[in-house]
Amino acid sequence: MQPVPEQSPLPDNGPPISDVGGPHGPAHVAIIMDGNGRWAKSRGLPRLAGHRAGGEAVRRSVAAAIRHGVRWLTLYAFSAENWRRPASEVLDLTSLLRHYLRSEISALTAEGVRLSVIGEPGRFAEDIQRNLSAAERLTAGNRRLHLTVALSYGGRTEIVRAARAAAAAIVEGRMRPEELDEPRFASFLATAGIPDPDLIVRTSGERRLSNFLLWQAAYAELVFLDVLWPDFGETEFAAALAQYAQRERRFGARPG
């Protein structure tokens, strides 16, 4: 997990194809990609087929994010709790991750996408860790879309780690306790330098965060879609943006 340097505003590698999101569209969209298993089951297929089809939906969402002028896209690909699944499914998921890392990096580079990882990449096999770091390095200069993939990610663990890092900074005399405020604490999180998500989308009809971006979600708009992740594409992305556009964000202030 590499800390992400400060980087706003993003210069362009090229303008978005259209600006459908408009100036008031979300800058940062985060997605809980759920429903691969149910998609496969409904077709009488093994769960692996659902995860494969989910990979195609990831491609479509990256393209849609770019088209709508979204600057940060964060995808929940594997939770810290997903290690509890049967070993065969974990193996399928890690094999797919290995495959996509090899096949997609040049496409991401060509599209001006920067890739970052949050979570615990150290829990994956060494070759995957190496390829993840290489992909982060290779795409570090890309500015069109900042794609963050959450892998073995858990929001509570992220917060505990940040607390530990802040405590160490105090003990070592690099920071005074009274200097620890919200922005400073956020700088110890894996998402340092990335703005909080404006919009969090979850597919498959489930209405929970499942330990995703707990700190960062404080004022995110939540959109729950019934579509199963492998069926997610441009239309569903646009539908989520349309729901977002209907919301009035108040941040605790009086209704305007």
Of all residues in the shown chain, the one whose CB is closest to ligand IPE is: 37
User: Does residue 133 bind ligand IPE (CB under 6 A)?
Assistant: no
User: Does residue 77 bind ligand IPE (CB under 6 A)?
Assistant: yes
* Burial (Cβ within 10 Å: 0-12, 13-18, ≥19) of residue 191: buried
User: Does residue 142 bind ligand IPE (CB under 6 A)?
Assistant: no
Whole-number Å distance between alpha carbons of 62 and 81: 25
Whole-number Å distance between alpha carbons of 123 and 80: 9
Subset of residues 37 to 76 that bind ligand IPE, contact rule: CB under 6 A: 37-38, 76
Is 226 noted as a catalytic residue in this protein? no
Whole-number Å distance between alpha carbons of 20 and 77: 26
| Residue with token string 């990256």 | 62
Closest separation in Å from C-beta 102 to ligand IPE: 19
Give whichever of 25 and 37 is closer to ligand IPE, judged by the CB atom. 37
Catalytic residue among 13, 82, 211, 231: 82
Of all residues in the shown chain, the one whose CB is closest to Mg ion is: 34
Catalytic residue among 34, 92, 196, 198: 34
**96 Cβ contact partners less than 8 Å away, ≥ 6 residues apart:** 48, 51, 52, 55
Residue of the chain from 1, 29, 32, 49 that contacts ligand IPE (CB under 6 A): 32
Is 34 noted as a catalytic residue in this protein? yes
Residue 77 phi, psi dihedral angles, 5° rounding: -100, -35
Whole-number Å distance between alpha carbons of 111 and 146: 11
Residue of the chain from 206, 219, 226, 249 that contacts ligand IPE (CB under 6 A): 206
Query: Which positions touch ligand IPE (CB under 6 A)?
Result: 32-38, 76-79, 82, 93, 204, 206, 208, 210, 229
